[in-house]
Amino acid sequence: MKRKEFIQLSALGSTALLIPGFIKSAALGKMISESSANGKKLIVIQMSGGNDGLNTIIPYQNDIYYKLRPTLSLKKADILTLNDELAMNKSMSGLKTLFDQGYVSVLNNVGYPNPDLSHFRSMDIWHSASDSDTYLSTGWLGRYLDHQCVGCAKPYSAIEMDDTLSLAMKGYQVKGLALHDTGLFYSLAKGQHQMPELDTRNDNLNYLYKTMIETEESADYLLAKSKIYKSPVTYPNEGFAKNLKTIAELIIAGASTSVFYASLSGFDTHVNQAGQQEKNLTKISEGLAAMVSDLKHANRLDDVLILVFSEFGRRVKQNASNGTDHGKANNVFIISSQLKKKGIYNNSPDLEHLEDGDLAHSIDFRSIYATILNKWLKTDDTKILGRAFDPLSFI
């Protein structure tokens, strides 16, 4: 339908319109594309607050680790051995099982030049893939949406399991959707929103109409998909795992969403770190183990790659409050059945050559993004990231 015809059909003089219920996708002649339903999927998991990587992947043979962490260091009874140098926190038995199955690659010493230790700024850097002295208003995944299908990407092409949309999911032209529950999202989208008459001279108003229409389309689409598959796998009974369950169900149901995003907060462990971190690592580990089991059971695991990161690590030396303060380099997890390099990807953290008490980075996190964009999502990473970064070989 041409824009003029749309306005003629929709305009009711000075009478208010009801949005979005007044118009349907069929009236616009739009059909939901299923072309990407069997494509590759990316799931990004954010451990918000700055997870302590040294007590996640432990250098259990390194005396410096025990010297600088006299009470926080994990003893051999508290670890799950990975190789002759590194072990996993005992609270991560679910992830350890995936590691043993060859589904996990651990990337050590990940960071970026001139790191910023502010939560907000460092998160912006990770979300936007910018340099530490550059400020961007779009995210790396949002720009992927802009580039993957110019003019045809839908809001549900990327879904964040949250109340608000992070910078990572915001593009120039396309933004993802933020939601916790497809049923609740549908109910909210179908509510009556009184709007003024369409006005061809008001670009902001017309953009709002377009957004409302796309929201209703997305609500219809996601609710329909959510009814197709109900997981037989038992997930932990808590919020983060429920979000992962929703993601798995949408993937298995054939949703054409290409990117999913979920976060777990609580990793800013300045005081009494041990119990708090172990509780959160258990949630991450058990939730991921259940989701991978679900995807594997439905023969969809080969289509999925999972990236697990935190905005920065912690200082090597524990503080006086039995916790750790903001640090620099950290470990990152890649989870997939299609790994080319399984297990420990690169060298263990170098505790003998610290940068002002922090781990130095040897992998730029944008090299991870570039590898995922190019090798997994099959798109031009240089256009999305702004320049070339050295590719890695985990996939």
pLDDT in tens, 19-62: 333 333 333 333 333 434 348 999 999 999 999 999 999 999 99
CA distances from 267 to 55, 69, 333 (A): 12, 18, 16
Identify the CA nearest to 232 among candidates 293, 319, 163, 302: 293
pLDDT tens track for 74-114: 998 999 999 999 999 999 999 999 999 999 999 999 999 99
Instruction: State pLDDT tens for residues 265-281.
Output: 999 999 999 999 999 99
- C-alpha 87/C-alpha 89 separation (Å) is 7
> If you ran DSSP here, which 8-state letter would residue 326 be given?
B
Mean pLDDT of 183-193: 61
pLDDT above 90 as % of the chain: 71
Span 3-29+41-385 CATH architecture? 3-Layer(aba) Sandwich (3.40)
pLDDT at residue 225, as a whole number: 76
Average pLDDT, the chain: 86
Looking at per-residue pLDDT, the higher value among 256 and 6 belongs to 256
DSSP secondary-structure letter at 359?
A: P
Distances (CA, A) of 55 to 52, 66, 106, 118: 6, 11, 14, 21
- Which residue pairs from 175-181 have beta carbons closer than 8 angstroms and sit at least 24 positions apart in sequence? 175/142, 175/145, 176/141, 176/142, 176/145, 176/259, 176/261, 177/215, 177/218, 179/222, 180/243, 181/246
DSSP string, 202-220: -HHHHHHHHHHHHHHHHHH
Place of tokens 């041990």: 274
Q: Is 131 exposed, middle or buried (0-12, 13-18, 19+ CB in 10 A)?
A: middle
pLDDT of residue 196: 54
pLDDT at 154 over 80: no
Residue-wise pLDDT for 295-344, tens only, equals 999 999 999 999 999 999 999 999 999 999 999 999 999 999 999 999 99
pTM: 0.86
Task: Please give the pLDDT value at position 53.
Answer: 98
Q: Contact at 8 Å (CB) between 235 and 290?
A: yes
